Structure 1
Amino acid sequence: MAMARPLPRTGGVFLDPRGEERSLRVSWHSEADLVVLSLWRDNVCTGTFRLALDEVPDLIALLRSGLDTSYDIARRRRDRAEGSQAG
């Protein structure tokens, strides 16, 4: 089995809640003007996506928008649940 390469100094690992040693690695490669997103399973890279640095703000905006929407939906659900308990 291939050994995983260490992450560059600027990067991170996000574990998949499904387990089975699945993870997403994010590594910044400023020397190449890239961010690399890679999918890992059992310490083996199963796929990569290279995102140009100038596209990162668009990805961040998309993630932020989705997060804001999710919070708004959860807040409305909570408010409805609290309202139905009060009556």
Structure 2
Amino acid sequence: MVQPRTLPRTGAVFLDPRGEDRSLRVTWHQDSQLVVLSLWRDNVCAGTFRLSADEVPDLIALLRRGLDEAYDAARERVERVERSTEAG
């Protein structure tokens, strides 16, 4: 029987809003200087991606840019609605 593996102390699980027990697990492996991104469904690992520690800042910067752009777009939509409400 296969023994379940515990998550390393430095990791997180993100649930997919589509449900069906989909999740992304992110684990930091200090000993190998890797971050492992793994896709899970029904508690079975469907795939992994190993990101070297020196590439993590680039991933963080990309995610930050995307988040900034999303906030800017949302702010612009709110401002347009507010302007049209004031005008009407």
User: Same fold, TM exceeding 0.5?
Assistant: yes
Equivalence for 1:40: 40
Report the RMSD for the aligned CA atoms in angstroms. 1.2
- In 2, Cα distance between equivalents of 1:77 and 1:71: 10
Q: Which structure has the larger Rg?
A: 2
By how many angstroms is 1:4 displaced? 5.0
Q: Is the 8 A contact 1:4 1:45 kept in 2?
A: no
Q: Is the 8 A contact 1:4 1:44 kept in 2?
A: no
Where does structure 1 lack aligned partners over 5 or more consecutive residues? none
- In 2, Cα distance between equivalents of 1:67 and 1:36: 22
Aligned residues: 86
Equivalence for 2:82: 82
What secondary structure is seen at the aligned counterpart in 1 of 2:85? helix
- In 2, Cα distance between equivalents of 1:6 and 1:82: 50
Where does structure 2 lack aligned partners over 5 or more consecutive residues? none
Give identity over the alignment, percent: 70
Q: Is the 8 A contact 1:23 1:41 kept in 2?
A: yes
Equivalence for 1:66: 66
TM superposition score normalised by structure 2: 0.93
By how many angstroms is 1:3 displaced? 6.8
TM superposition score normalised by structure 1: 0.94
- In 2, Cα distance between equivalents of 1:45 and 1:52: 20
Equivalence for 1:11: 11
1:71 partner letter: Y
By how many angstroms is 1:62 displaced? 0.3
Q: 1:3 to 1:69 in 2, by over 3 A?
A: farther
